[in-house]
Amino acid sequence: MDGMHDMGGRQGFGPVRYQPNAPVFHEDWECRVNALYGHAVRLGLFTMDAYRHAIERMAPRHYMTASYYERTLTSLATLLVEKGVVTRNELEAAAGGAFPLAAPSAPGRSNLTPNYRFQSGELVQVRNVDFAGHTRLPSYIRGKRGVVVRETLAYPFPDAHAHGVVAQDEPTYDVAFRAEDLWPNDSDPATVHVGVFQSYLMPAGEVARGS
């Protein structure tokens, strides 16, 4: 889905804040939230893709003002309410006030293409598709052309895995893009490598034929 989390190539958000040798946790509650989230995944209550999608579903203002572990807490609480483990009323009673949750999820989708295997050195086109559910397709590469560098092992397809939709595992491809193609007239010469799931790609020749 398009959301505030998909910030690649966007401007106007100020410098990236970086603290050398920063501690993993700044407060005790952050450690507890991280432990609860990891325990829920191990119990099979939800997948990593579902966890990411719940963060993506946060209200933009909430997402932009929340810390890393606040987002984790919002995702965890949202999914536990959706799975029936706890109710929102119980959360708000324990918190002593309002407990913001993420918006409802859109439906997922299964694999998009036949099982076509791309080869190293092949010119490919990224599909220019919008999707309301979870996806690992960055908006800044949609519709762009790049060259396949290598293929990885197969992974669960995130557009399906976040929503409990049946799909085949598929590989990602390390695709090299020219920065000048991604951001025309606004970038220095450079190569940008992106791991792109197979369903997000098509042979560049298909675009030329209008398919």
The domain segmentation of the chain, as residue ranges, is 1-101, 123-208
pLDDT in tens, 117-153: 899 999 999 999 888 999 999 999 999 999 999 999 9
Distances (CA, A) of 80 to 158, 161, 181, 211: 20, 17, 42, 42
The CATH number fitting domain 123-208, selected from 2.30.30.50, 2.30.30.280, 3.40.30.10, 3.40.50.2300? 2.30.30.50
Question: pLDDT digits over 24-82, tens only?
Answer: 999 999 999 999 999 999 999 999 999 999 999 999 999 999 999 999 999 999 999 99
Residue 206: predicted pLDDT: 66
At 208 the pLDDT is 44
pLDDT score, position 115 = 72
Cα distances (angstroms) measured from residue 156 to each of 34, 110, 208, 210: 23, 11, 30, 30
Q: How far apart are CA 139 and CA 94, in angstroms?
A: 38
Helices 48-56, 28-42: axis angle to 10 degrees equals 130
Predicted confidence band at 211 (pLDDT cuts at 50, 70, 90)?
very low
pLDDT band at 1 (very low <50, low <70, confident <90, very high): low
- Please check whether the two domains, 1-101 and 123-208, share a CATH topology: no
d(CA 168, CA 7): 28
Question: Does pLDDT of 210 surpass 50?
Answer: no
Q: Which CATH number fits domain 1-101: 1.10.472.20, 3.30.365.10, 3.30.465.10, 3.30.70.100?
A: 1.10.472.20
The answer to whether 166 and 78 are in contact (CB under 8 A) is: no
With bands split at pLDDT 50, 70 and 90, how would you rate the model's confidence at 154? very high
Give the Cα separation of 192 and 175 in Å (integer): 8
pTM of the model: 0.87
Rounded Cα distance, 32 and 145, in Å? 43
